[in-house]
Structures are given as C-alpha cells and as structure tokens.
Structure 1
Amino acid sequence: MTIFPAAVLLFGFLIGIPVAFSIAIAALVFFVQSGAMPHEIFIQRMVAVTHSFPLLAVPLFVMTGVVMNFAGITRRMMDLAEAMTGHWRGGLAHVNVMLSTLMGGVSGSANADAAMQSKVLVPEMTKRGYDLGFSAAVTASSSIISVIIPPGIGLILYGFMGDVSIGKLFLAGIVPGILLCVAMMVLVAYMARGGVMPPAFDKRVSWSERGRVFRRAGLALLVPFGIVLGIRFGYFTPTEAGGMAVLFAVIVGILQGELKLAHIRPILEQTAEATAIILMVICAANAFGFYMTWERIPTTIAAWMTDLTSNPLLLLLIINLMLIVVGMFVEGSAALILLTPILVPVVTKLGIDPVHFGIVMVLNLTIAGVTPPLGTLMFTTCAITGVPIGRFVRASLPFYALLFAVLIILTYVPEISLWLPNLKLQ
C-alpha cells in the first residue's frame, strides 16, 4: 500500500493550497505514479460523481437560501426572533441564537449564517455596549445550529458519501438542533447576568405586534416544515424537496413584492459560485476515493479500529477525538467528504446507527470550525468583525464547553437523534 498520495494531500493542506486542488493533485499523483491504469480514469472519476441525482439537492438548497436573502425573508426572520426575545437581558445575543436556528431551515450553511450575522447583528450589538469578542463568539458558535437543522448541506454530503438516507438525517437533526438552541440560550442568559448586555427593547413586545411579525415571516417558516413533513410522509425525495423549496421561496418573494427580475442574475451567480466550491471538493474527493479503495485504505483503517476496540462507546470516543483534531486543520466539508466513506463501515460493523453517527460527525466537524488554529467559522467571523483571534478564543471558552458537552450527550444518547426518524406513524 502506497501512502505517498496521502502525504501529498497533507502537504498541500499545510502549505495552503486550496482544499479542492490539494485533493485533486494528490489523486492525480496516484494515477501518474501507479503506471498500471490510463490517466483518463482520473478525469472520469471526477466527472462521474456529478451524475448523481441526490447530489442535485446541494445547488437547490443553496439557491433557496440565496433567493430568500434577496426576497427579504432573512430580515423578516430576524424581526421575528427580536420580537420574541429582544426584551430579555442579553436580548440581541438571544436573537443571534434564535436567528441561527430559524436560518438553519433556509441557508443550511454555517459559514453563510456566520457571515450574514457578523454583518447584520454584530454592529448593532456593539452599538448597544456588547463586548465585541463576545458578539463574535456567540455569532460563530450559534451558526453551528444551522448545519443540524434541516436542510443542512453537511447532512446532504454525509448522506451522499455514506449511502445513508438523507430524509432520515433531516429528521434526525431537528431535536438536536433545538437542544443546541435551548442550551445556548440558557448559557447566554447566565452570562448576561454579570455583563453589560442590555435588552434590545425596554419592554416586552405586545402579542399583537408579535402576531404581525409572525405573519410577515410565517410563509418563510413553512419552508423547513414543508421539507420535513413532505419527506416524512413520502411526498417527495430530499432532492425534490430542494426544487420545491426554491419554487416556494420564489413565490413568497414575488407575493411580498421584494423579488425582482433584476435579482435573477445575482441569484444565479451566487448559487453557481457557492455550489462550484462544494462540488469541486466532491469531484476531487471521488478521484481520491478511487485511490483509497484501490489501496484498501478504508478496509485497513476499519480493521485497525475494530482491533483497537470492539466497544462501540469507546470507539465513538476515539472517533470524536480524531474528528476534533482533523477538523481543526481541514475544512469541515472536505473532512466530511474524505472521512465518511472510511468511518461509516467501521461504525456500522459495531452496530452503531449510521443516521445517529451522521449527526455526531457533522456536529463534531462543524464545532471544529470555531476552534483554532484553522477554524473556518472563526476566520469568517473574525475577518468580518475585526476581532483578533486571541480575543475571539478567550470569549469563546464558555461556548466551547457547552458545544462539547452537547456533542457528548448526542454521542451517547442516540435516542435524541433517532426518536423522530424511528417514530411510527399510525
């Protein structure tokens, strides 16, 4: 078994070559080095993966989020979150967390959520006297909820790479996402007791005003509910749900009078740009996956891990520690695409439900995005807000503790994730 292509991959990561190109170069090295197969197979493996129907869900859900931003739905959701929690002490921090939860059913991307809230909410929090480091920390940490609440892009990638039902993964993410939201709001409430965190409003918003705000955001809230219910009752597949979500977002934008013909071009451009980044990594990873399969690397690693321990609880701990370390150095989507085909056979061999493991793996790698040295969520938030990395890390320590505690709970209490997917409908 040759490990030279894997060494090339790690070297590419270390010297800063973009992830997709690092993976593609490493795969090409294998085909050139082997000499036993036509080099054309390298291109064939990269192109073949794009013929997948389930993978079509990625650009469709990306487009849904872009359309909703242009349709003003993001602003309406923020107004709803502020109306519900703005009167609490630390109100804007609560709004930050709740908006991430609401946006999870729209954007499905932690990076998109962190970037949006860094531009919109953090400046307002700074005006009201919130510590800038805290504002950046709560923004990056709460954005993690977006990948768990359906239709998270990470869940789609995991389901595709691991041959796991994406519909079940969507259902499995609902309760953990709500749990993470509640836990983070409790932490914010506790921290607000000793800090300068004034409420957004001097008094509680009236229920009539809340009803008005809810009606303005109500149509948008139907998107995640429609996706989940449609998949749960078998009306459409996750890919078809993506198409329905785009159509519904366009209709809502037109009815609300905010979506214009002039928006078509920027919507398509932003969708193509975001999708290209994801699919380039997937295509390169598929070629690299051919190398790993040819050299029996997944089989070897699976045998090594099962020889190390046959206890599923201990194995989950080992995998979690490994994922945390990997996620600190490799972008979450790339790590997910590379490691899912290796780890899913290992956990299923020991009787661990792959749906439950998917929630754990996606959450783990996303948490790593807020940790140094190379967390993408950390860099995204710090770059937009201007917060130094050291200050961000110090402010994030309570959130790190909370996130890892929730990760441990979800790892060892699989019923939290599996309750909805296994719920029997009468």
Structure 2
Amino acid sequence: MAVSIALGALFLLFLLGTPVAFALFFSTFLYFIVGADQPTMLLIQRLAGGLESVSLLAIPFFIMAGVFMNYSGITDRLLRLAELLTRRMHGGLAQANVLLSTFMGGLSGSNIADAAMNAKLLVPTMTDKGYTKPFSSAVTAASSLITSTIPPGIALIVYGYVNNVSIGRLFLAGVVPGVLMAISLMVLVSYLCRRHNYQPPERKKVTRREWVSVTRAGIIALMLPLVVIGGIRVGVFTPTEAGAIAVFYALIVGVFVYKQMTPKTIALATNESLLASVNVLFIIAVASGFARFLTWEQIPQEIAMLLSSQVGSAIVFLLLANVLLLVLGMFLEGNAILIVLSPLLAPVAAQFGIDPVHFGIIFIINATIGTITPPLGTVMFTTCSITGIDIASFIRAVMPFWLVMVGVLLLTTFVPFVSLALPNLVF
C-alpha cells in the first residue's frame, strides 16, 4: 500500500511539473510516513549516503569545465570554425549549428545548456539570413541532443554511477552514436535547405591565413575531450580526476591563451557552476533514498522476473524498452527517467546478455529524445521560451529531426557494434 501511494504521488508530481528532486523526495518521504516499517532517520542517512562516492566528484568538475569554456570565448571560436567548415554547404549556418553542438558536446556536457546557448547565439542570426524561426529552433533543439552522448556528457556519468557501469567505457561508447547523429542531422538539414531554398552555398574562396587562424583557435578548444579520454585510457588519471584536469585546462585556455577570463568572470563562472552542480547532486541524493525503498520492496527483482518470464528474447526486450522509454519521455523529464527507471531495466537487460555499456547508450539516447518530444520535453520548452515561437509551430518543424533521431536510436539498439566498437578497441 505504501509503495502504491508513493509511486502514485511521484508520477502525479511529475505530471504537475514539480522539479525532479522535490518529486522524488516527497514521494520517498511519503513512503516512510504512510506505512514503511523503517525509521525515518534511515531516509536522512540514505540521502547523505547517496553522495558518498568519489566518482560523483566528476559531475561538478565537468560542469565547471563547461561553464569556464563558455566564459573563455571558446564558443565564439568554435562557431567560426563550424561556419568555416560548412560555408560551401546548403544551409551553411544551419549546418554550423549542428556542428557547433557536436563540438560543444564534450565541453558543455548538458543538452539543455547547449540548446539555450545556441538559441540565444544562432537563432537570431539564422532568422536574419532568411531561415524561418520554427526551422531554426528545431535545428537548435535537435542538434543539442548530440551533447548527451559525446563525452564527457553528464548523463553518461550519472548512468555509470547509478548502475555501476564503467564511466570510461561509457565515454567512448557515446562517440560513434554522437557522430552518427551529427551526420544524419546534417544530411537532413541539407535536404530541407535545398527544398526550402535556405542559404545557398558560398563560393568565396577561403584564404590560407583565415584557415590557419580559425582552425588553430578551434583546435585548442577541441583538445579537451581528447585530453580527457586519452588520459583515462592511458591510466594517467581516473574519470573523476579527469574532471579536475578539464577545469584546469579550461582555466589555462581562458586566462592565458584567449585572455578573456578575468577574476570577475572567474567568480561569476564559479558561482554558476556551483548552482548547477547543487541541482544535479541534490537529484542524485534524493534518488538514492528513492532507489533504496524500491529495493526494500523487491520491486526491481519483481520487474526483472516478470519481464524475463514474459519476454522471449533480447530483441523483443529492447523493442519494448525503446517503446516504453519513448512514451515516458513524452511526459517525464530526462533525469527522472534516467535515475528512476535505469536501475529497474538494467538488471533485466543483463539477464538477456545485453552489454551494460551498450544498454546504457540506448537508455541515454531514449531519454534524450524525450527532451524534444511533446507535451513536456524540457529542451522543447527551453528553446521555445528563448526564441519566442509557439509549441505547435515547433512540433511541426521538429518532426523530421525527431524521426532521424529515432532512426539513429534503432541503429544503435540493434547493431551493438555502433556503441561497442570503440570501447572494445581501446580497452
């Protein structure tokens, strides 16, 4: 009875738009109050115990590195590099939008942060170039999904911690699906821009001096993901220590290379990083208490037994998992799906012999697609609120991009080589 009341309260709060952390905390607290045969003090102990892990230090470190990168002027330089690489394509600025999200994937670590940044930075310019605002918003929102799988995405770290999966292998497993997303979106953008006659290719020749200047500035920024992954693979540092190295690298670039970070901007960036980190870590803390009462009630084990007895093969299970996650993504926030459902489905996937790293990437892509899916997609609302377009116009414009992302999801799901080739090669 207590479990039913707690879970009912949780989903009701989600549907009412309550922040994930408070919804999880209230439903867990309600479980203890209504009829749990456990002392309430145990809830407080579990909330604190949920953060007693060195691996979680990677989250505030990588969040800080991403914020420092934004304040250092790296975003502008990456945008110039993206525009330089795409100016001879149809829809050059829209292509640069996709490419910038791919570049920033290893830097910002958050698709909502990436969507907000590009909506402010690129949508006004795209509108001036003749793109419709719904199309510009759809490109911005869809391309931001790449961020979640390109290392060091915060979702990869959280999934690895919650399900005890190697974060280093998850980092590498997300690279190829992320690149496939970028290529697929760029092909679609090219087709749509030809069809609607948006921004024909520029024929102006790029000088050698411009190439050298722009690429040198951009490559300095793009070195960060290589430093992070390379250091983890060689064994120089752990994923947690890699986060600290990323902060140090961002600080050096911002202060001494680009010279755009002053003591004042460093203080602002640190404050922004602190607020963002507290938000994520609070969610993890309350999710730990929530997961513990599910374990007490044997809910993960019952779901695993039910699915394993009713589902005959790994392919059927993966199909059902994708359908379930895509449907829930229409109503629940991505972090909620990741923290609440992944501990329930990951053990079942393991029973069917599905690699935990492979299933982790499938799960994250599903949760990511949900952020642009109506009626409650977080990236959808973020983008529309910044660009000022109505939800109906956005949905019509984003549907082709949504279908492409689902296609990449199915390819990743049923061709494990896509996500496992790189980690198996490196490790």
**Distance in 2 of aligned mates of 1:368 and 1:325:** 8
Q: Which residue of 2 aligns with 1:38?
A: 39
Q: Trace 1:18-417 onto structure 2 (pairs within 5 A).
A: 18-34=19-35, 36-199=37-200, 201=202, 203-255=204-256, 256-417=258-419
Structure 1 residue 99 displacement after superposition: 0.2
In the TM superposition, what is the alpha-carbon distance from 1:244 to its structure 2 partner?
Answer: 0.3
Structure 1's unaligned 5+ residue stretches are none
Deviation at 1:36, TM superposition (A): 2.5
Q: Alignment partner of 1:149: what SS?
A: coil
Query: In structure 1, the residue corresponding to 2:109 is in which secondary structure?
Result: coil
Paired amino acid for 1:94:
Q
Secondary structure of 1:38 counterpart: coil
Superposed displacement of residue 199, structure 1:
4.6
Amino acid in the other structure paired with 1:119: K
1:387 is paired with a residue whose SS is coil
Which amino acid in structure 1 is aligned with residue 75 of structure 2?
T
Whether the 8 Å CA contact 1:159–1:165 is kept in 2: the answer is yes
Paired residue secondary structure (2:396): helix
- Is 1:418 matched with 2:425? no
What CA distance in whole angstroms lies between the structure 2 residues aligned with 1:279 and 1:201? 46
Distance 2:414 2:37 in 1: 45
Distance 1:195 1:258 in 2: 39
**SS of corresponding position for 1:276:** helix
Distance (Å, rounded) in 2 between the aligned partners of 1:259 and 1:320 = 44
Measured after TM superposition, the shift of residue 192 of structure 1 is 1.2
**Structure-2 separation of matches of 1:139 and 1:38:** 48
Task: Report the alpha carbon displacement of residue 207 of structure 1 after superposing the two structures with TM.
Answer: 4.1
1:227-263 C-alpha deviation (Å, 9 max, x unpaired): 1111122211111110000000000111121111111
SS at match of 1:220: helix
**Distance (Å, rounded) in 2 between the aligned partners of 1:269 and 1:155:** 24
Does the Cα contact within 8 Å between 2:15 and 2:332 map onto a contact in 1? no
How far apart are 1:26 and its partner, in Å?
0.5
SS state at 1:3 partner: helix
Kept in 2: contact 1:310–1:350 (CA 8 A): no
Q: After superposition, what is the alpha-carbon deviation per residue over 1:295-314, rounded to whole angstroms, capped at 9, x for unaligned?
A: 01111111111112130011
Cα distance, 1:207–1:356 mapped onto 2, change above 3 Å: farther
Distance 1:340 1:204 in 2: 50
What amino acid does structure 1 have at the position aligned with 2:418? I
3-state DSSP of counterpart to 1:50: coil
> Taking structure 1 as reference, are residues 27 and 282 closer, same or farther at Cα in structure 2, changes over 3 Å only?
same
Q: CA deviation at 1:196?
A: 3.2
Deviations 1:339-373 (A, max 9, x none): 11111111011100010111111011101110100
Deviation readout 1:36-88 (Å, 9 max, x if unpaired):
22211111111111121111111110000100111101111111101111232
SS for the counterpart of 1:274 is helix
Cα offset, 1:331, TM superposition: 0.9
Q: Bigger CA drift: 149-158 or 334-343? A: 334-343
Per-residue deviation, 1:401:
1.2
Q: Is the 2:233–2:426 Cα contact (8 Å) retained in structure 1?
A: no
Gaps of 5+ in 2: none
1:200 Cα shift?
A: 7.7
C-alpha separation in 2, matches of 1:140 and 1:251 = 31
* TM-score under structure 1 length normalisation: 0.97
Using the aligned pairs only, state the percent identity.
Answer: 47
C-alpha distance in 2, partners of 1:93/1:123? Answer: 12
The 3 A distance-change label for structure 1 pair 117 and 22 is same
Q: Could you tell me the TM-score, scaled by structure 2's length? A: 0.97
Give how far 1:274 is off: 1.0
**In 2, distance between residues paired with 1:133 and 1:242?**
36
Cα drift, residue 191 of structure 1: 1.0
Equivalent AA in structure 1 for residue 114 of structure 2: D
SS for the counterpart of 1:419 is helix
Structure 1: how far apart are the matches of 2:96 and 2:87?
7
What is the Cα deviation at residue 30 of structure 1? 1.1
- The superposition leaves residues 86-115 of structure 1 with CA deviations (integer Å, 9 ceiling, x where unpaired) of 232200110000000000010010000000
- The CA distance in 1 between the partners of 2:187 and 2:345, in whole Å, is 34
The 3 A distance-change label for structure 1 pair 289 and 424 is closer
Aligned length: 425
Contact 1:87 1:204 in 2 (8 A): no
Task: Output the amino acid matched with 2:366.
Answer: N
In structure 2, how many angstroms separate the alpha carbons of the residues matched to 1:200 and 1:19? 44
User: Could you list the per-position Cα deviations for residues 249-308 of structure 1 after superposition, in whole angstroms to 9, with x for gaps in the alignment?
Assistant: 000111121111111221121111111211121111111111100101111111111112
Q: Distance in 2 between matches of 1:358 and 1:46?
A: 24
CA RMSD of aligned residues (A): 1.3
Q: CA deviation at 1:9?
A: 0.6
Q: Helix, strand or coil: the match of 1:194? A: helix
